[in-house]
Amino acid sequence: MTVRHAPWPAGTPCWAELAVQDPARSQEFYRAVLGWGHTAPDPGGRVLALVDGAPVAGLAPGAAPDGAPVWQVHLACDRIEACAERVLAAGGSSCGPRRRAGAPGRPGSGATPPAPPSGCGRPGS
């Protein structure tokens, strides 16, 4: 993702997470291809990808049921609770409790029928 030092406009991509079976291998790949640095893994094995020391994406253990890697894009929203309510009202579903991301901000996630889960978040500093 682009490093940004101002609030993301609502509805724009603001964060990405990659769920993979082998995060260490993905770290090597993105280091070689994009020059990403990475933080040390947290207790759950999640790392932040860094460009010039700034977080640009997350990599975590996990994958689709068939083992394929899954990129989840988070879209900016001004009020996470209101965004979550709109997801449900539009026929989407919650993908579990909102958790604190490693990057600044407050994330949430939901599934849009029939697409895979997408995230929304209120970027922060």
Separation of alpha carbons 17 and 87, rounded Å:
20
pLDDT digits (tens, 9 = 90+) for 63-112: 788 888 989 888 888 877 888 888 888 887 766 555 544 555 555 555 55
Domains of the chain: 13-122 (3.10.180.10)
* Cβ(20)–Cβ(26) below 8 Å: yes
Give residue 41's pLDDT: 94
- The DSSP code sequence of 79-97 is -HHHHHHHHHHTT-EE-S-
Question: Which residues make beta-bridge pairs with 70?
Answer: 19
In tens, the pLDDT along 108-125 reads 555 555 555 555 555 554
Residues forming beta bridges with residue 17, ordered by sequence position = 58, 72
